Amino acid sequence: MAYIAMTTGFVLILIGLFGALTNRNILRMIVAFTVANTGVNLVMVAVGYMHGRTAPILDEAVPVAEAVARIIDPVPQALVLTAIVIGVGVTALMLAYVYKLYETKRTLDISAFKDLKW
Amino acid sequence: MSALLIEMSLLLSVTMVAAAILATRGRQSLAIAILAAGLVSLLASVQYLLLAAPDVAMTEAAIGSGLTTFLFFFVLGRVRGGERD
Amino acid sequence: MIRRLFVILLLLGLGAIFAGLVGGYTPNDALNLSARYYAEHTAQDIGAANIVTAIIVTFRGLDTLGEVTVLFLTAAIVGLVLSHGHREGEGSGRELPPAGELLTTGTQLLVPLILLLGVYVFVNGHLTPGGGFQGGAILASAILLLLLTDPLRRISHGLIATIESTAGLVFVGIGVLGIFFAGGFLDNRILPIGSLGALFSAGAIPIVYSFIGLKVGAEFSSMLANLSETEDL
Residue A111 confidence (pLDDT):
80
Using one digit for the tens of pLDDT, what is the confidence trace for A60-100? 777 777 777 788 888 888 889 989 989 998 998 998 888 88
What is the pLDDT confidence band of residue A118, given thresholds at 50, 70 and 90? Answer: low
The domain ranges of chain A are 2-112
Return the residue in A7, A10, A15, A105 with the most chain B beta carbons within 10 A, the one to mutate for interface testing: A15
Say yes or no: A118 contacts chain C, CB-CB below 8 A: no
Q: Identity (one letter) of the amino acid at C76?
A: A
Residue A54's pLDDT is 80
CA closest to B37 among chain A residues: A35
Rounded to whole angstroms, what are the CA distances from A94 to A26, A113, C169, C171? 9, 15, 28, 28
Q: Which CATH architecture has domain A2-112?
A: Orthogonal Bundle (1.10)
Residue C121 and residue B58: Cβ atoms within 8 Å? yes
CB contact under 8 A, C130 and B67: no
- What integer is the mean pLDDT of B17-24? 89
**pLDDT of res. C200:** 75
Please report residues of C whose CB lies closer than 8 A to that of A93. Answer: 74, 77-78
Burial label for A74, CB within 10 Å (0-12, 13-18, 19+), is buried
Q: Do C56 and A82 touch (CB under 8 A)?
A: yes
Q: What is the mean pLDDT of chain B?
A: 86
Q: How many CA atoms lie within 13 A of C52 on its CB side?
A: 34
Closest CA to A71 of A55, A49, A47, A51: A55
Residues in a beta bridge with A25: A109
State mean pLDDT over A44-70: 79
Cβ contact B55–C52 (<8 Å) = yes
Beta partners for residue A109, in sequence order: A25
**Considering only residues 11 to 70 of chain B, which have any Cβ-Cβ distance to chain C shorter than 8 Å?**
54-55, 57-59, 62-63, 66-67, 70
- Chain C interface, Cβ < 8 Å to B: 50, 52-53, 121, 129-131, 133-134, 137-138, 140-141, 144, 220, 223-224, 227-228, 230-233
Interfacial A residues in 43-72 facing C (CB < 8 Å):
47, 49-51, 55-59, 64, 67-68, 71
ipTM summary value: 0.87
Sort out which chain C residues have CB atoms less than 8 A from A29's CB and list them. Answer: none
d(CA B61, CA A40): 16
Q: Report d(CA A74, CA C36) in Å as an integer.
A: 10
Compute the distance between CA of residue A19 and CA of residue B25 in angstroms, rounded to an integer: 7
Are C227 and A103 a contacting pair at CB < 8 A? Answer: no
> Given CB atoms, is B85 within the 8 Å cutoff of chain A?
yes
Confidence (pLDDT) at C36: 82
Computed on alpha carbons and rounded to an integer, the radius of gyration of chain A in Å comes to 20
Q: How far apart are CA B26 and CA A29, in angstroms?
A: 10
| Paired strand residues for A54 | A71
Taking a C-beta distance cutoff of 8 angstroms, is the pair C62, C201 a contact? no
Compare CB distances from A58 to C19, C31, C196 and report the shortest one's residue. Answer: C196
Query: Does the pLDDT value for residue B8 go beyond 90?
Result: no
**Confidence at residue B42, expressed as pLDDT on a 0 to 100 scale:** 92
Distance between CA atoms of residues C135 and C217, nearest Å: 7
Full 3-state SS string of chain A: CHHHHHHHHHHHHHHHHHHHHHCCEHHHHHHHHHHHHHHHHHHHHHHHCCCCCECCECCCCCCHHHHHHHECCHHHHHHHHHHHHHHHHHHHHHHHHHHHHHHHHCCCEHHHCCCCCC
| Cβ contact, residue pair B75, C227, below 8 Å | yes
Average pLDDT over every residue of B2-14: 87
Instruction: Please answer whether residues C92 and C153 qualify as being in contact, where contact means their C-beta atoms are separated by less than 8 angstroms.
Output: no
B52 Cα to chain C: minimum distance (Å): 11
Query: B54, C129: Cβ pair inside 8 Å?
Result: yes
Distances (CA, A) of C187 to C70, C180, C203, C214: 22, 10, 9, 20
The predicted structure's pLDDT at residue C32: 82
- Tens of each residue's pLDDT in chain C, 233 residues: 788 888 889 989 989 998 888 888 887 777 788 888 888 877 777 777 888 888 888 888 888 888 888 988 998 888 888 876 555 544 455 566 777 888 888 888 889 999 999 889 888 888 888 888 889 989 888 888 888 887 777 777 788 888 888 988 888 888 888 888 877 787 777 777 777 777 777 778 888 888 988 998 898 888 888 888 777 66
Half-sphere exposure for B10 (CA within 13 Å, toward CB): 6
The reply to whether residue A10 touches residue C55, judged by beta carbons under 8 angstroms, is no
Subunits close to A (at least 3 CB pairs below 8 A): B, C
